[in-house]
């Protein structure tokens, strides 16, 4: 049985109406984004971050692990001690929301701009591996995941063994054992239905592709609210 993230003590700023608590939904989101910024600190407390392709797999904790790899030339891994705390941020779509699009602007004038977005924070303990077989497994798992939508998926075994061996020597594997999941979808749930409708219309007319994606998410959120009401 999968763990339930409802009621967890979130550290992310999380107004209740923006909180996403269904773990399967969060995992689907991470699988669609396919990358995360891993943030750690060095011995002096200096924050370090690297964007890496990632894959959410079963692990030692109830929530599983996030699997990644980075260049051996990247100084971040050199400052990571096994079991050190880390945070992976998975960014979704986002959009600026103008108060001009709120119906309530003409009624009260009490409106300000905001930012709609989707985001997931995965925190836990980080380990770095140099083991060749483990590195190969990580690379194969990531490759198979990201290639599965190709007509003829590329496999690691398609390349010469000596070439792959050289590539593996140039990277380190990174695993984040997840002990906290924080998921947020800020989609104007705190506004009236008229305000949300105005925002959706404006975003649908935008030339920015992310604006349209936020509009679609807001429409889906409205549909869910209407089904429950």
Structure confidence by residue, pLDDT tens digits, 124-169: 999 999 999 999 999 999 999 999 999 999 999 999 999 999 999 9
| Helix or strand run (H / E) with residue 215 | helix 209-228
Q: Across the chain, which distance is largest between two alpha carbons, in Å?
A: 70
Alpha-carbon gap, residue 88 to 188, rounded angstroms: 25
1.10.275.10, 2.30.110.10, 2.60.260.40, 3.30.1330.10: which CATH number matches 16-98+111-189? 2.30.110.10
Contact 94, 43 (CB under 8 A): no
Percent of the chain with pLDDT over 90: 83
pLDDT tens digits for range 111-135:
899 999 999 999 999 999 999 999 9
User: Looking at residue 7, what is its pLDDT?
Assistant: 41
pLDDT tens digits for range 28-65:
999 999 999 999 999 998 999 999 999 999 988 899 99
pLDDT at 177 over 80: yes
User: Looking at residue 224, what is its pLDDT?
Assistant: 53
Alpha-carbon gap, residue 201 to 10, rounded angstroms: 33
* Average pLDDT value for the chain: 90
Alpha-carbon gap, residue 168 to 187, rounded angstroms: 42
Name residues whose C-beta falls within 8 Å of residue 105's C-beta, 6 or more positions apart in sequence: 99, 111
- Higher per-residue pLDDT: 87 or 14: 87
pTM: 0.89
Contact 221, 200 (CB under 8 A): no
């Amino acid at each position: 049985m999968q763990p339930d993230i409802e009621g967890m003590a979130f550290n992310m700023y999380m107004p209740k109406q923006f909180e996403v608590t269904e773990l399967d939904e969060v995992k689907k989101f991470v699988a669609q984004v396919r990358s995360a910024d891993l943030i750690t600190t060095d011995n002096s407390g200096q924050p370090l971050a690297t964007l890496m392709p990632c894959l959410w797999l079963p692990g030692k904790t109830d929530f599983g692990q996030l699997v990644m790899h980075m260049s051996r030339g990247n100084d971040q891994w050199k400052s990571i001690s096994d079991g050190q705390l880390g945070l992976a941020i998975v960014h979704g779509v986002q959009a600026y929301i103008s108060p001009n699009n709120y119906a309530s602007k003409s009624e009260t004038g009490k409106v300000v701009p905001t930012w709609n977005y989707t985001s997931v924070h995965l925190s836990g303990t980080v380990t770095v591996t140099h083991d060749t077989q483990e590195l190969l497994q990580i690379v194969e798992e990531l490759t198979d995941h990201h290639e599965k939508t190709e007509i003829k998926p590329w496999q690691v075994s398609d390349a010469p063994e000596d070439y792959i061996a050289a590539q593996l020597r140039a990277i380190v594997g990174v695993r984040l054992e997840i002990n906290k999941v924080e998921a947020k979808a800020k989609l104007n749930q705190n506004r009236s239905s008229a305000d949300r409708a105005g925002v959706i219309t404006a975003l649908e007319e935008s030339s920015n592709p992310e604006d349209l994606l936020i509009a679609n998410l807001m429409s889906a959120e409205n549909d869910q609210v209407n089904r429950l009401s």
